[in-house]
Each structure stands twice: as C-alpha cells, then as structure tokens.
A and B are shown apart, each in its own frame.
Chain A
Amino acid sequence: MSQFAINLLFVGGSFALYIGIAIWSRAGSTKDFYVAGGGVHPITNGMATAADWMSAASFISMAGLLASGGYANSSFLMGWTGGYVILAMLLAPYLRKFGKFTVPDFIGDRFYSSTARLVAVVCLVVASVTYVIGQMTGAGVAFSRFLEVSNTWGIWIAATIVFLYAVFGGMKGITYTQVAQYVVLIIAYTIPAVFIAMQLTGNPIPMFGMFSTHSESGVPLLAKLSEVLVELGFRDYTADVDNKLNMVLFTLSLMIGTAGLPHVIIRFFTVPKVADARWSAGWALVFIALLYLTAPAVASMARLNLLTTVYPEAAGQVENYEEAMAEPILYENRPEWFRTWEDTGLITFNDLNDDGRIQFYNDANPDFADTAAERGWAGNELQVNNDILVLANPEIANLPGWVIGLVAAGGIAAALSTAAGLLLAISSAISHDLIKKTINPNISEKGEMLAARISMGGAILLATYLGLNPPGFAAQTVALAFGIAGASLFPALMMGIFSKRINSKGAVAGMLAGLISTLLYIFTYLGWLFIPGTNMLANTPDNWIMGISPLSFGAIGAIFNFAVAFAVSSATEEPPQEIQDLVESVRFPKGAGGAVDH
C-alpha cells in the first residue's frame, strides 16, 4: 500500500469516528449547542479541554519552534501550561459558581453594563479570529502534505472541513468527539517520540531520553546537538538568552492569555460542581503535560536527526568536525521524505556553490562567515519550514508507514478540535451576547441558532483569507491571539472577582486600553490587520521598544488594563450594592446551581 493510501486510511478513519460521535450526540437545543448539558465528569472534561487546548500550534508547530530556538523558546512550554495554574486559582471556580454561558455574560453582568458586554464581545472575537488564523496555517501544512496538494489548497480544504464539523456539532457533540480526538492526538504524538528516543538514546521515555547519552556518539544528546549546531554557525541549543525581560514578558503573556481565552474558560462552565472546576483544571493540565513534556524531546531529537541527515559524518564520535562537515550529502542522494516535502514547497534547496551537495548552515552569523568561506560554501542552501518538523519527524527517522499516517491524523485532529471550539466561542458571543442580549432580546431559539451558524461561516472565511498570508508560523500567530486575550479579557475577569471596587466605567476603559495598546503594537510590526506590507516598522529586535517583541506585548497591555481600570474606578462612583453582593457570592461554592440552569 502506498504512503498516500495509508494516510488517507488513517485520516479518513479518524474522521469517520469523530463525525459518528458528533451525529450520535447531536446538539438538540441552544443550551446543548453551547455547553454540553452541564453534566461532564472532571476527568472527561479535562481530556476534552486538553484536546480543545492543544491545537495545530501545540501539535504541529511548537516543537519546530523549540527546535529552531532551543532554550530561548522555552516560553511556549511554560506559558501554555503555567496559565492553567492561574486559571484554576483565579478564575475557573468563581466563573463556574456564577453559572452563565459565556465570558461576555459574566463581564456584562458583573459590570452591570451592556457597553462592557459589547467590548468583551469585541475582545473575544479579535482574539479568537487571530487564533483561528494560526490553526488554518497549521492545518494547511498538514493537509497539503498528506493529500499531496499545494499549501493554498490545503488551507481551503481544512476550512471546509472545520466549518462543516463545527456547524453540525456544537458543544455537546464536541465534548465527546474531543475525548476521541485527544486519544488520537496523544498516541500520534508519543509513538514516534518513543521510537526516536529509542533509536537515539536507547531510553524509551522521551522526556528522560532527552537528558541521556546519545548512543552513536557517547556524549549526552543535548551536548552533541549543541556541538553540531555551533560547528555550523547556529546558536548553542541550551545557551542562555540576553534579553531576559522579553522572555519573562512573553511567558507571562502566554500564561494570562491561557487564562483569558474564551474557548478554554467555557469548558469550566460544563462541570457539575465548583470543586470540579478546580479538579478539571488539574486534569486538563495532566493531559496537556503528556504532550508538553514530550515536545522538547521531539524538538531536540528531530533537530539532531535533521542535521545528521545532511551531515552523516557528524553523527558518530567525531574527532575532527572540520572533516565531518566537509562532506554533506549529495542532493541526488537525498532521502525519500525530503523529496515528498519538496513537493509542498515547504522544503527548498538551491545549490548556490554548484557542488551538488547540500550545505545547511547559518549564513546570517557574521562570526561564521570566514569558516564558511574557507569551506567553499556560498550561502545556506536548504530552507526548512519550522512547521513541518513534527509531521516530517517520523519520516526523517525512517519509521514505518502506519506511524506517518497516525501523525497525519493526529495533526489534523489537533487543528480541527481547537478551530471548532473557537468558532463555537465566536458564534456564541455574536448570537447570544450581541444579538440576543443586546440587539434583539425576542429572537427565537431557531433564529439564534441560525445567527450562530452564519457567524461561524463569516469567521472562518475571514480567518482562512488571512491564513493564506499568515503573520508568522502557526504557534507565533497563536501567541499573538494569547497576547490579545491576556491584555483585554483576563484583567477584566480577574478584577471582576477579586475587587469589589471596579465599576463599569473602569472595566470598559481598562479593556479598551489593553486591547488597543496591544493591537497597535502588534500591527506596527506585523501590518494593519496582518495584511503583509502595511507594517510601519520592520519586525526585528532592533526596532522593538526595549527589545519587547510583539509576541510579548500582551503582558504590558494587561498592566495598562489594570492601571487604567483602577484609576478610572477610583475617580468614579462605587458599584451598586447588589453588584458587591454578587461579587461576594461568587467567592464561595455554596449555593451554586446546575451548570446552565438560569
């Protein structure tokens, strides 16, 4: 059976499973459509949250970024897990006690203002659409490779499938399909990692293998990797970063963004009790960590495999790297996986010095220019897109065809599950918070469902259009969405619970300050509405204010949000007594009703 047929079998089979579950548990009412009937066990909910959470960014893109950035990109790992600690302690239990459908619902009621609700809807839609752009990028890579079509076609196919899937499912369908997706996703991620860890270190557990001895050379794996990288002018894999401020802010942005993202928070409305919301967050993190603890191992091992594929002599015990690096493989001898990925346009080779060999090194490093010239290298000849690393990983390590098919199914599951959850959050914000609660309170249940489906369609078209020219790799685009959510929604939610003094004016001013400052900073470097070529400054560290990257600005935006909200609230009136009582009552579990009985 050809690899193409195996891929189709795995992707098609897993799809049949998800769609089957979605049809079997199809949403019957608006309540089911948004929050799955309110009776989901914490472990089940944790698993579904994990699937919802781990998107194309985590599955496809993150290990690629870790591999290319080494230690400097550890922020992705800490940020996307540490957010759950904040969520479990600062938001989830209280929002569950409050017991409403959506994030704008809480903000609208707590700040007794339809303006606050409206601003929350805007923040939510901006953050979620940005997030979906990242998913489209990742899903596009996956589909283009496995259906052997161009990247553009891959994105359109992904968009169609996500749309059908989210429109017919709704939350109830999604909760159980997401449990199935989690299982597919985690198996698909760990199996190749175990094989590769065995091959390289003899240790079957990737998270330990990463810190063990590299069997072929006899030195620790990370030391070997750094050695080879430095010999090619790249950064030492484990080297410390110079700009710690940016790393701290980036990690913080991702953490508060995690806690402020509507499609994650909405999950905690579906557990039966307040105590379960706390346990749910813990279980979600356990299931997420299974992938996140493996990802750094996948990253380091895949990077080493890629380098030793190009420089086979550098793999073993090397006395003299100068000799080992002199003979990279001949282009005509390139492995099969290399050829197949070339078809997607995500790997490109350009023989600059016409020697028929693949020179792969860091030609942007001025300190390395002399060495390269001595070796007769005329520039880096190999471009590898970061986002292909995880998908190509099993092929690079020569794993059997079924593993490759499994990874295809896992990557697509990751992108689909998150995109569907986000579309649901967007559509509920528009149909429920905007139309039913603000514009037309008399809308029928049917009309509300129709509005939900139309807004899903609109959101996915917009995200797909922007996904064709994304502002970064999947995980970077997603990181921007986190910055936006962290700067706008997280502070409002937290202040709504932890301070009785914040009033509607303060909250509205704060959210706008956070949202607008963050968007301005991002658009300055990445283009207005992410349209390429419209940026005012080049997106390079020299241009960033105090070296703060657009990806990290969410943390600063959140500080603005807090400061403005406090200043405006103290200058204006106290919130009314019944609101202060409401804040008191969300602070303890006693008296919480069913998940959505209101």
Chain B
Amino acid sequence: MADDKSNAAAYWKANVRLIAGCLFVWALVSYGFAILLRPLLSGIPIGGTDLGFWFAQQGSMLTFIVLIFFYAWKMNRLDEKYGLGE
C-alpha cells in the first residue's frame, strides 16, 4: 500500500511537471509572442504584417494542437511506466 502510494505520488509529480512545461509554451505563444512581446517581433515581416500578428491569428492555434497531442502521447507513456493505465 505504501509503495502504491509513493508510486502514485511520483506519477502525479511527473504529470504536474509535464503540465507546467506545456503550459509555459502555451503562454509563451499566446500571451507572449502574440500580445506582450509583439513589439519585439515587429521587425520580422510576414505577408504584409509582422510575426506577432501571425502568432495571434494562426501560430498560437497551431501550437495548441501540437501541445495537446504531445501531452496525450507523453501521458500514455507515463501511464504505462508507472503501471497506472487502464
């Protein structure tokens, strides 16, 4: 039982770490590149506008899709590694 508990705790810790990493990227592309850091990226032109605009209307959404699939794939491996899958 104690083993089960510490195993579950380690799994949860790994999960939380993974979430933190993914949410960092999530915030970076949307709140970062698309909004707050846009002035810094204004020198990089893309089709009549700048990179920040592209991130706001295209890039952040594409990144979000990649993030979710990456997380789902990674979690499946964690489920297996800790023997906590279904």
- A: residues with CB less than 8 A from B are 66, 71, 74, 77-78, 81-82, 84-86, 88-90, 93, 207, 210-212, 219-224, 226, 238, 240, 244, 247-248, 251-252, 273-275, 278-279, 281-282, 285-286, 289, 292-293, 296, 584, 587-592
Give every chain B residue within 8 A of A219 (Cβ-Cβ): 48
C-alpha gap A436/B4 in the complex (Å): 37
Contact A275 B79 (CB under 8 A): yes
B45 to chain A minimum Cβ distance, whole angstroms, is 9
Interface string of B54-68 (1 = CB under 8 A from A): 101110111011011
Given contacts A78-B56, A248-B35, contact A289 B85 (CB under 8 A): no
Which residue from A247, A282, A292 sits with its C-beta under 8 Å from B61? Answer: A292
**Known contacts A78-B56, A220-B48: A590-B65 contact under CB 8 Å:** no
Residue in B53, B56, B57 with the greatest tally of chain A CB atoms within 10 Å: B57
Partner of B86, one of A78, A281, A592: A592
Shortest Cβ distance from residue B80 to the other chain A in the assembled complex, whole angstroms: 10
Query: Across the interface, which residues of A come within 8 angstroms of B61, CB to CB?
Result: 77-78, 81-82, 289, 292-293
Q: How far, in whole Å, are A84 and B22 apart by their CA atoms in the complex?
A: 12
Contact B48 A223 (CB under 8 A): yes
Q: Which residues of chain B come closer than 8 Å to A592, judged between CB atoms? A: 86
Chain B residues touching A, majority SS = helix
Q: How far is the CA of A286 from the CA of B66 in the complex (A)?
A: 10
Give B residues with C-beta under 8 Å from A: 5, 8, 11-12, 15, 19, 22-23, 26, 30-31, 34-36, 38-39, 42, 46-50, 52-54, 56-58, 60-62, 64-65, 67-69, 71-72, 75-76, 79, 82-86
Q: A90-B19, A275-B85 are in contact. Are A211 and B48 (CB under 8 A)?
A: yes
B18 nearest in chain A by CB position: A89
When C-beta atoms are compared, the residue in chain B nearest to A80 turns out to be B61
With a CB–CB cut-off of 8 A, which chain A residues contact B38? Answer: 240
10 extra A-B contacts, CB within 8 A, seeds A211-B54, A238-B53, A275-B79: A82-B26, A84-B64, A211-B46, A221-B47, A240-B52, A251-B30, A275-B86, A293-B61, A584-B8, A590-B86
Residues of B near A207 (CB, < 8 A) are 58
In whole angstroms, what is the CA distance A226 to B50 when docked? 13
Secondary structure dominating the interface of A: helix
Q: In the complex the two chains form, is B84's CB within 8 Å of A590's CB? A: yes
Closest to B61 in A: A81
Query: What is the minimal beta-carbon distance from B84 to any residue of chain A, in angstroms?
Result: 4
Chain B positions within 8 Å of A66 at CB level: 57
- Do A71 and B53 touch across chains, with their CB atoms under 8 A apart? yes
> What's the Cα separation between A82 and B29 when bound, in Å?
10
CB neighbours (8 Å) of A82 from chain B are: 26, 30, 60-61, 64
Cβ of B35 and Cβ of A587 under 8 Å apart? no
For the complex, give the distance between the alpha carbons of A559 and B71 in Å. Answer: 26
CB-nearest residue of chain B relative to A90? B19
Contacts of B54 in A (CB 8 A): 211
Q: Are B26 and A85 in contact (CB under 8 A)?
A: yes
Please report the C-alpha to C-alpha distance between residue A81 and residue B64 in the assembled complex, in whole angstroms. Answer: 7
CA of A88 to CA of B64, assembled, Å? 11
**Known: A84-B68, A220-B47, A282-B65. Is A251-B75 also a contact (CB below 8 A)?**
no
Q: 9 smallest A-B Cβ distances: which pairs?
A: A211-B47, A220-B48, A222-B48, A74-B56, A223-B48, A278-B72, A588-B84, A282-B68, A296-B57
Q: How far is the CB of A74 from chain B (nearest CB, A)?
A: 4
A251–B27 Cα distance when bound, in Å, is 11
List residues of chain A with CB within 8 A of the CB of B79: 275, 588-590
The answer for the CA separation of A64 and B5 in the assembled complex, in Å, is 53
A589 touches B85 (CB 8 A): yes
Contact A85 B64 (CB under 8 A): yes
